[in-house]
Structure 1
């Protein structure tokens, strides 16, 4: 069998397991959508930076979908490790890269579905415009997903068991949900929190997603500030460039951590 067929088999298996598990389906697919409807709906008549506040928040929840995918990936990798699935696969002819490609690929498809659902809500329900730069939007989504997928692999090495994975994943989810500007501009946070908030891995991803969607230079917007200027195609990429660079640096660091920390066998072994 070729590498592609091995990866495809792992992808189909991970896809079936995801939808059969009610907990993973809720956290990994429904949670960002439900939270967005709850948080964004009351903001339909408000604006941030000259764009619909509800649409602004909805794009932020597309970013949060990357973190909920991290939660499910972390639990899935640790569970497969503890059940000795990874150990047995390592002893077969299946390439290790195909094992992870299938697992990560399945979760990536879920994230794309969430982005489509949330994007439809943003445009159809909250009257946000269509994405100004779909290519930049997709690049940012893929880059952010890769970052959090590798983070799940890295932290799986520090997670004792599947039962304790929520203790590792929940703090990351909470920090990103409330500190990365998902539902409100970072300028609305206390001044002493704004520095740490900018250091979170999700923050540059959310900023670049909004820049790609609305074609404006987000990053310093506020509830009381005026409209942001529209950017040309080139200036949109220039505005998102620093955020993408920070995301790439985060990804490189997390990749090194994953290579060092990941375990094929249970920690108790």
Structure 2
């Protein structure tokens, strides 16, 4: 006599454990890093652009800033650290996710037994690794060629750490949200790069000191996180006398933390409400 059973068939061999979310996240992180570093052109452009801009602008505007005696090249070097982070975390992430969506990578990953958090964890590890490398390169160039002071006290490095983490988080979340705007990967580069280029000018990355900008442009730049990241990094690497060249005449660490944290929260809300796993052509 045949006995029917309602038990579900096992999806994995007996005694074999399914990989944990942690292992899936680490595996996806490895994939993201390998894919990035195999694209040599993208790697060279990502890490070379802030350095080239720093050397070019530092050579053009190499002068002493008023009574402080601080070279403008040092102001540029400190601010360019923020520009490099923004480029790596906002521009590169937005175009990368757009490419993954258009070539069907997101759609395939969504259909696999992999939690969505693994994909985002991979992107987070990628932007952290590239941002750390970017900062190290720009800082080395600034210190060697423009005598950018490297702080020796712990307090300044603590400030560097929280400005870096908040800046990376906010820019990455905004980059992920921005990836839903372009209709194709061909349109992603101009759509993402144009507003970022404008923000670099109005945020005091290319124009130093920032107080030389028209008041209306300073106010526009103060709305976005890039300006506050640059101000935070200047407070780490420059003497306290340089605070007089900021719009408020002070470093405003509390306000920097508040604005960057607000953009982290705002970026998270935008990601949750706008992120798409499929392209528009897929419905």
CA spacing shift, 1:218–1:200, aligned 2, 3 Å: farther
Counterpart contact for 1:67–1:176, Cα < 8 Å: no
- State how 1:31-70 maps to structure 2 within 5 Å: 31-47=49-65, 49-69=68-88, 70=90
1:225 maps to what in 2?
Answer: none
- Work out whether 1:2 is the aligned partner of 2:15: no
- Work out whether 1:141 is the aligned partner of 2:154: no
Q: Deviations over 1:225-260 (max 9, x none)?
A: xxx89xxxxxx7xx3121111011111111101110
1:202 maps to what in 2?
Answer: 226
Task: Give the deviation of 1:105 after TM superposition.
Answer: 1.2
Unaligned stretches of 5+ in structure 2? 1-18
Structure 1 distance, partners of 2:259, 2:171, is: 14
SS at 1:67's partner residue? helix
CA-atom RMSD, angstroms? 2.2
Query: Which piece of structure 1 moves more, 106-115 or 21-30?
Result: 21-30
Structure 2 distance, partners of 1:72, 1:8, is: 21
Unaligned stretches of 5+ in structure 1? 223-227, 230-235
The alignment covers a number of residue pairs equal to 256
Counterpart contact for 1:81–1:87, Cα < 8 Å: yes
1:240 maps to what in 2?
Answer: 253
TM-score by length of 2: 0.83
TM-score by length of 1: 0.87
Task: Give the deviation of 1:45 after TM superposition.
Answer: 4.7
Structure 2 distance, partners of 1:207, 1:63, is: 9
2:12 maps to what in 1?
Answer: none
- Work out whether 1:11 is the aligned partner of 2:29: yes
* Structure number, greater radius of gyration: 2
Among 228, 232, 238, the alignment partner of 1:214 is 238
Q: Deviations over 1:73-96 (max 9, x none)?
A: 111101111122112212223221
Counterpart contact for 1:24–1:72, Cα < 8 Å: no
Task: Give the deviation of 1:42 after TM superposition.
Answer: 4.0
